[in-house]
Amino acid sequence: MYLEKFKLRNFRNYHSAEVVLSPRINVLYGKNGQGKTNFLEAVSFLTLGCSFRTKRDEELPRHEENGFYLKGEFLDDEESLTLEVGTDLNRILVKINGVEYKSKRSLFGRVRTVIFTPDDLQLIKDGPEKRREYLDLYLAQVYPEYRQHYHQFYRALFQRNSLLKKFREGFRDFRELEIWTEQMIAEGSQVIYLRLKAIEDISPWVNRYHQLMSQEQESLSINYKLAGERVPSLPVSTVQDKLRTVLERRKNEEILRGYSLVGPHRDDLILLLNREWEMRVYGSQGQQRTAALAMKLAMVDLIKKTHGVPPLLLLDDVFSEFDDDRKKELLRVLTEGTQTIISTAEERDFLNFGAELKSFRVENGVIYD
Partner 1 sequence: MRTLINELAKLPGIGPKTAQRLAFHLFTTPREEVQKLATAMLETKDQLTFCTICGHLTEESPCLLCRDPGRDHALLCVVEEPKDVIALEKTREFKGVYHVLHGALSPLEGIGPEELTINKLLERLQTGKIREVILACDPNMEGEATAQYLARIIKPLEVKVTRLARGLPVGGDLEYIDEVTLGKALEGRQEI
H or E element in which residue 74 lies = strand 69-75
Bridge partner list, 76 = none
* 3-state SS class at 268: strand
Least Cβ distance, residue 45 to partner 1 (angstroms): 25
Question: Pick from 50, 75, 179, 345: which binds partner 1 (CB under 8 A)?
Answer: 179
Residue 159 within binding range of partner 1, rule CB under 8 A: yes
Near partner 1 by CB under 8 A: residue from 166, 251, 266, 304: 166
Q: Please count the residues of this chain forming the interface with partner 1, following the rule CB under 8 A.
A: 23
Verify binding: residue 236, partner 1, rule CB under 8 A: no
Q: Give me the sheet containing 16-20, strands edge to edge.
A: 16-20, 2-9, 69-75, 80-88, 91-96, 99-101
Query: What are φ and ψ of residue 81, in 5° steps?
Result: -140, 130
Alpha helix ranges (H) inside 169-322: 174-213, 236-249, 251-257, 279-282, 285-307
State yes or no: residue 106 binds partner 1 (CB under 8 A).
no
For partner 1, the closer CB: 170 or 354: 170
State yes or no: residue 173 binds partner 1 (CB under 8 A): yes
Distance CA 127, CA 269 (A): 10
User: Residue 168 CB, nearest distance to partner 1 (Å)?
Assistant: 12
Strands (E), 111-195: 113-116
Nearest to 263 by CA among 366, 185, 158, 182: 185
Amino acid at site 105: R
163 is an interface residue for partner 1 by CB under 8 A:
yes
Residue 335 to residue 338: CA distance in whole angstroms: 7
Interactions with partner 1, residue window 187-226 (CB under 8 A)? 187
9 binds partner 1 (CB under 8 A): no
Here's the x/- map for partner 1, 128-157, by CB under 8 A: it reads as ----------------xx--xx--x--xx-
Rounded to whole angstroms, the Cα distance separating 254 from 259 reads: 6
Residue 112 C-beta: closest distance to partner 1, Å: 16
**308 near partner 1 (CB under 8 A):** no
160 touching partner 1, by CB under 8 A: yes
DSSP 8-state code for residue 310: P
Please provide residue 204's backbone torsions phi and psi, each rounded to the nearest 5 degrees.
Answer: -65, -35
By beta-carbon proximity to partner 1, the closer residue of 42 and 164 is: 164
Which one, 185 or 202, has the nearer CB to partner 1? 185
How far apart (Å, rounded) are the C-alpha atoms in residues 45 and 81?
16
Stretch that binds partner 1, among 17-25, 46-54, 175-183, 242-250 (CB under 8 A): 175-183
Cβ proximity to partner 1: between 27 and 262 the closer is 262
Does residue 158 belong to the site contacting partner 1 (CB under 8 A)?
yes
Q: Which residues bind partner 1 (CB under 8 A)?
A: 144-145, 148-149, 152, 155-156, 158-160, 162-163, 166, 171, 173, 175-176, 178-180, 182-183, 187
